Amino acid sequence: MAAAGIESFLHEERCFAPPAEVQQQARIGGMAAYTALAEEAQRDPEGFWGRLARQELHWFEPFQQVLDWSAAPMARWFSGGRTNVSFNCLDRHLTNGRAEKTAILWEGEPGDVRRLTYRDLHRQVCRFANVLKGLGVGKGDLVALYMPMAPEAAIAMLACARLGAPHSIVFGGFSAEALRDRLIDGQARVVITADGGFRKDKAVPNNPAVDEALTDGACPSVQDVIVVRRTETPVTMTPGRDHWWHELVEGVSEDCPAETMDSEDRLFILYTSGSTGKPKGVVHTTAGYNLWAHLTCQWVFDLQENDVYWCTADVGWITGHSYIVYGPLSNGATTVMYEGAPRPAKPGAFWELIEKHRITVFYTA
């Protein structure tokens, strides 16, 4: 070990350039194109982001100012603009030739598969948004999710965005105490959970942690709990509070226009891990986040129209929010969701999935 710290004995200087054909088809076709993009952003930041916001997102009402510092140090993006993230992820693809394209390709750990086209997903999102409306959820009401990796998680996120009800996702592996803290802090109105999910060949329960978090009226703001039936694990349902997802959506209208949202309206709250103290709720707002997730997904993964894209994260993390749901769907891509995890009994599960579904872009850690 060197006196100043750790000495590295590996000095890698090789550069592996992509084939010419790949560069020609890429959205950013090489270093020159990347440099030009970066220089434009540095030369005129507001013009750069304004141009891309107009070009890449649908606006019900155009914004009047790209960046407003009048309430510094708080910045406001796209002032005066009105949009909706659910609309940008769903409705516009129904009229641009993607209605029958697969939006979500989901595989459960036991091997069951569900495919939702953009039309299918739009219908299910609208139906569930109407369910939330029927429970009294409206613009500004916080909805918490404590779920496994199931399509209903994405459906619930997009339904909340459609109504203007910010969501707060709590990773399904967190404790009842961690869940309770986040429910109390955010004053959640509804909790969406499941009987459980499959992970490493086991049915892992979710609903019991919700019951424990709500014990003795610990979270007085929570009025309803919606439970997705996944594993068929027996659960205790509290009358008047708990509802089965499949029963609520039965026969509900598939017509639910997206709410017109201000650019700075809350889209979701995601809590920090709490490793340096009490978890802090980080607010992500509508238009700025939508554009960021849309463009970074487009640029970093070079998403093309026929790609089948898989990010192996969980929707409970910001990576899952951005690169499983909002980024890919805003771009009209096919996004893969997988319920399980690599395990000793099946170490090649990921590679088998890639081959089976012909996945072309793979993002993991």
The CATH number, out of the four listed (3.30.750.210, 3.90.180.10, 3.40.50.12780, 2.40.30.130), of the domain defined by the range 86-363: 3.40.50.12780
**All structural domains of the chain with their residue ranges:** 86-363
**CA–CA dist 293, 321 (Å, integer):** 9
Contact predicate 138/129, CB 8 Å = no
pTM (two decimals): 0.94
Query: What's the confidence (pLDDT) of residue 10?
Result: 84
b/e code 17-26 from CB counts within 10 Å (16+ = b): eeeeeeeeee
CA distances from 253 to 27, 137, 248 (A): 39, 16, 11
pLDDT tens track of the chain, all 365 residues? 455 677 888 888 898 888 888 888 999 988 899 999 999 999 999 999 999 999 999 999 999 999 999 999 999 999 999 999 999 999 999 999 999 999 999 999 999 999 999 999 999 999 999 999 999 999 999 999 999 999 999 999 999 999 999 999 999 999 999 999 999 999 999 999 999 999 988 999 999 999 999 999 999 999 999 999 999 999 999 999 999 999 999 999 999 999 999 999 999 999 998 777 788 999 999 999 999 999 999 999 999 999 999 999 999 999 999 999 999 999 999 999 999 888 887 889 899 999 999 999 999 98
> pLDDT value at position 3?
55
For residues 320 and 310, give the distance between their C-alpha atoms in angstroms, rounded to a whole number: 11
What's the pLDDT score for residue 1?
Answer: 47
Residue 315, H or E segment: none
The 3-state DSSP class for residue 170 equals: coil
SS3 48: helix
